[in-house]
Amino acid sequence: MTISYDDFMQVDIRVGTVVAAEPYPEARKPAIKLTIDFGAEIGRKKSSAQITEHYQVEGMVGRQVAAVVNFPPRQIGKFMSEVLVLGFPDEQGAVVLIGPSLAVPDGGRLF
């Protein structure tokens, strides 16, 4: 399936810095609750991410991640996830997060 560039531009993918992280043991699959700062325009948003294979709660704060910020909020158990953090599966299917290789301003949009 192909999409137009205009279709792609409707997906708002931004970079943000994780400012808080905590375990989410109530989730069906192991997850971490993240609070991500996307800068002044978007602000802080929350996400539940199934990233426990490669990432620990203690190492998440300060990490920049990419996320879709214009999906509607989604209820994940008792937690409302406001953005979709992006990653690629490794050979075993565990998520490897997408983020810039160098620091960039929070809120920057992927083009």
Give the residue from 45, 55, 48, 37 showing the smallest Cα distance to 96.
55
One DSSP character per residue, the chain reads ----HHHHHTS-EEEEEEEEEEE-TTSSS--EEEEEE--TTT-EEEEEE--TTT--GGGTTT-EEEEE-SSPPEEETTEEE-SEE-EEE-TTS-EEE---SS---TTPBP-
pLDDT per residue as tens, the chain (111 positions): 999 999 999 999 999 999 999 999 888 889 999 999 999 999 999 999 999 999 999 999 999 999 999 999 999 888 999 999 999 999 999 999 999 999 999 999 998
- 37-47 pLDDT, tens digit per residue, is 999 999 999 99
Separation CA 60–CA 73 (nearest Å): 22
pLDDT of 111 reads: 84
The neighbouring-strand residues paired with 23 are 32
Give the global pTM: 0.95
Domains and CATH numbers, the chain: 7-97 (2.40.50.140)
- 3-20 pLDDT, tens digit per residue, is 999 999 999 999 999 999
From first CA to last CA, the distance across the chain in angstroms is: 20
